[in-house]
Structure 1
């Protein structure tokens, strides 16, 4: 019986030998790892046929310790996130005719030893081994004694290991930020992580190569809440992260603090197996080539098993790294054009076209009604954004249906919600606007949440003032909040334009912090009732310390008072349909063109055109003019106005 089994197996070896064109003894030597004197070409041809026919010489070689099993092992420190690396290992193994057994040490050295024992019992041809710790090296002799080939991954100094080139990726993350002109950059790392250590090493080398100093105190660690304080107080403009999950957590934390990525801060990260499944936020990153690394180490192990020599002296796997996107990277704000911050009311405007204004005891007929976003803060922010400026709005809305309408509308107009707070107790502010046939308007306002915007809430988003050219202040919110905003604005080097709406007097400190005062004729008269003429009113404000006073006069244009100039400017020639947003259009255009480098007088003239467009249309936000339309009209009417002068304010 035994003899028959042996004869069957010999015939099988004979068939293999015939298919390969070699002798039976050559096949026997190859499958039993005794083929030192056989050419690599012959060895490869025989092994290919053996694997193809799934041949195992049970009787003849079952007791030979060197017999091939065509089984490989993968012993990982943990399999919680093996992901694509295992996929690469399996694909390479299958292509070469091998099967794979997976073992999980669960970060436990005793569990690891049990798995190594199992590997030896099963007489695997080779194993990919990720040691739990440096102490794992003491178990290596068990595998050596059984003739099991080993490829170590991430094994530390004591074990020559295959590894992904995280150092190079850390270098590239830093270089990307530097390419975007960042110099105050730091790393977001995970404690006790070999990957983080390698990324940080590459990061530091890149800074050194670019002559950028690094502050050790700025290193950020995932899970350490103090890192937010470092970001907010130390002038950091760019962050490179070793782990994608840590990047997502940081993104969420910064969002709650009204920081925008990439406007306020740039963020780059390594990406794990499948970040493409996360559609938002889109963080700029380098995808870790786990799949290709899996193929690389599996092919190296198979080469060892079949050739009995190392495939390469280079154990570091590298790839052609590229960034998945650049959505979360921008140049630092101080390199970008000056932005505009507006602080004021945000309302839901309900506009009614009427034959006459409401009077006591008299019913009037509403000819038409529309609902839009309004409030001087919102109007001025949208006005600046439409003129091509980076504009930010600080204000307060309720937590009601109206607030959703407002947020959606502002988002469409390109206004970020980072400075907009929600009040849990008061409704969104409302304005009821009555417009007569001649375009004149009467407005009644319910302040709602606007009345609760506090100085603390302005402080919480003061980073929005970084690189601001102007802060537009309107006084339909509490005066202490306006004062705090004016102080913060000055701290960041911006100029303040004050619209004194609904004020009976201006506090002395607000005069001190304001650069340009823009009341309308009625507001100017209310603030200095003893001054009867526009000239006297402007003189009064000027002597109060206001360097520039512009009193808007509706269809009469405006009057300017500075130390050098006292003059009237005519209004632009537009038919008046709705005057509600005229002043807001004027202020946002004035600031926008001063930032672009136009002189004060040029900017006033351009602003009168912007106001003219606005009052010639129904509504406010929808009536604000865009940059192309405005400049096309001016180019046809007064082309010399768009030629900048050398002595501009910015």
Structure 2
């Protein structure tokens, strides 16, 4: 029976501004270009999973404005089911202002809008059809209590729960044992570790490995920590494997992490058991994303990954022994 990736999360209209360098406090800089595209962590990850070949259902909220129509159309065109994407009257669609400097790094400010109006009832309605074998993908741009409820609701139905703890959580409300897979970057890893008492600054190679393993034990889940050009770390039993990053020249890093997470979700939903191979493919997909501008528009399709550069999955798949 075909499995489904259910994404409960945020939907935004991204206003992308290209600048030579980020402004200092009190400084005004001129942008060379502006682009308005569909985005939001939930929407980006749903599109990535769909372009990776998964059947995807989005559960989220949009405002009753032109940006809402833009985002809904972008999801539909990528094959994402939008039957459980509601429209909230009198509320604007979530909006992100994304400044991208010449080297491809970005800074993002988000106004939640309709995303803050997502409710537990929306989750119940959208996840009513979830079943064993399905995967529910969550992030933290919607209310934390709704995220925690969605994880619990999904687990009760036998679905696999993947949480991308981004933005970095401010409290431990979403960090429960209902999580099967946790995906974080290095900054988010530090925040999670502090909240659950897993320790470690997660700076050096061994520190990251130790923190991944401690977090995995505390939450009883698989932990994937991405470190940009430093690659990713994932616990495999009581050891931590390192998967190298793909080297490319970045134009815009927006949606790179979302592409990575969406491709991983699609692989898990297909029942792929070689986690390092799945993460290698996710890394290759993210590498393509950063060579393009925009959020959803930059996410590649599966056939593009076949020809994309990638590290051999065993070239630097080092098993790191950790203390504790």
TM-score by length of 1: 0.45
Give 1:590's aligned residue: 264
Deviation per CA, 1:145-185: give whole Å up to 9, x if none. xxxxxxxxxxxxxxxxxxxxxxxxxxxxxxxxxxxxxxxxx
Give 2:233's aligned residue: 559
Residue of 201, 206, 209 corresponding to 1:532: 201
Give 2:281's aligned residue: 606
In 2, are the aligned partners of 1:340 and 1:468 still within 8 Å (CA)?
no
Is 1:628 paired with 2:293? no
Give 2:128's aligned residue: 463
In structure 1, the residue corresponding to 2:95 is in which secondary structure?
strand
In structure 2, the residue corresponding to 1:605 is in which secondary structure?
helix
In 2, are the aligned partners of 1:547 and 1:562 still within 8 Å (CA)?
no
Deviation per CA, 1:249-285: give whole Å up to 9, x if none. xxxxxxxxxxxxxxxxxxxxxxxxxxxxxxxxxxxxx
CA distance in 2, matches of 1:492, 1:381: 20
Residue of 504, 510, 516 corresponding to 2:170: 504
CA distance in 2, matches of 1:367, 1:338: 44
The offset of 1:482, in angstroms, is 0.7
Cα–Cα, structure 1 residues 506 and 447, in superposed 2: closer, same or farther, change >3 Å? Answer: same
Residue of 9, 23, 46 corresponding to 1:381: 46
Cα–Cα, structure 1 residues 372 and 467, in superposed 2: closer, same or farther, change >3 Å? Answer: farther
Give 2:139's aligned residue: 474
Root-mean-square deviation over aligned CA pairs: 2.1
Matches within 5 A, 1:257-276: none
Cα–Cα, structure 1 residues 427 and 409, in superposed 2: closer, same or farther, change >3 Å? Answer: same
TM-score by length of 2: 0.88
In 1, are the aligned partners of 2:175 and 2:219 still within 8 Å (CA)?
no
In 2, are the aligned partners of 1:341 and 1:468 still within 8 Å (CA)?
no
In 2, are the aligned partners of 1:580 and 1:615 still within 8 Å (CA)?
yes
Deviation per CA, 1:22-72: give whole Å up to 9, x if none. xxxxxxxxxxxxxxxxxxxxxxxxxxxxxxxxxxxxxxxxxxxxxxxxxxx
Give 1:246's aligned residue: none
Give the structure with the larger helix fraction: 1
In 2, are the aligned partners of 1:516 and 1:547 still within 8 Å (CA)?
yes
CA distance in 2, matches of 1:461, 1:541: 30
CA distance in 1, matches of 2:214, 2:31: 41
Residue of 206, 223, 231 corresponding to 1:549: 223
CA distance in 1, matches of 2:122, 2:189: 30
Q: How many residues align?
A: 304
Give the structure with the larger strand fraction: 2
Where structure 2 has 5 or more consecutive residues not aligned to the other structure, the ranges are 203-207, 316-324
CA distance in 1, matches of 2:314, 2:243: 16
In 2, are the aligned partners of 1:429 and 1:449 still within 8 Å (CA)?
yes
Is 1:345 paired with 2:15? no
Give 2:35's aligned residue: 370
Where structure 1 has 5 or more consecutive residues not aligned to the other structure, the ranges are 1-334, 642-650
Matches within 5 A, 1:169-180: none
Structure with more relative contact order (C-alpha pairs < 8 Å, separation 6 or more): 2
Deviation per CA, 1:275-308: give whole Å up to 9, x if none. xxxxxxxxxxxxxxxxxxxxxxxxxxxxxxxxxx
Is 1:617 paired with 2:286? no
CA distance in 2, matches of 1:513, 1:489: 8
Matches within 5 A, 1:24-35: none
In structure 1, the residue corresponding to 2:22 is in which secondary structure?
coil
The offset of 1:357, in angstroms, is 1.6
Cα–Cα, structure 1 residues 468 and 455, in superposed 2: closer, same or farther, change >3 Å? Answer: farther
Give 1:428's aligned residue: 93
CA distance in 1, matches of 2:248, 2:88: 39
The offset of 1:452, in angstroms, is 0.9
Cα–Cα, structure 1 residues 338 and 640, in superposed 2: closer, same or farther, change >3 Å? Answer: farther
The offset of 1:552, in angstroms, is 0.7
Deviation per CA, 1:93-140: give whole Å up to 9, x if none. xxxxxxxxxxxxxxxxxxxxxxxxxxxxxxxxxxxxxxxxxxxxxxxx
Give 1:450's aligned residue: 115
In structure 2, the residue corresponding to 1:519 is in which secondary structure?
strand
The offset of 1:609, in angstroms, is 0.5
In structure 2, the residue corresponding to 1:451 is in which secondary structure?
helix
Q: Which has the larger radius of gyration?
A: 1
Give 1:202's aligned residue: none
In 2, are the aligned partners of 1:339 and 1:467 still within 8 Å (CA)?
no
Residue of 576, 584, 587 corresponding to 2:250: 576
In 1, are the aligned partners of 2:254 and 2:295 still within 8 Å (CA)?
yes
In structure 2, the residue corresponding to 1:629 is in which secondary structure?
helix
Deviation per CA, 1:425-457: give whole Å up to 9, x if none. 321100000111111110000000101101111
CA distance in 2, matches of 1:575, 1:562: 30
Deviation per CA, 1:486-526: give whole Å up to 9, x if none. 1221122221111111312332x742110111111111122
The offset of 1:376, in angstroms, is 0.6
The offset of 1:617, in angstroms, is 1.0
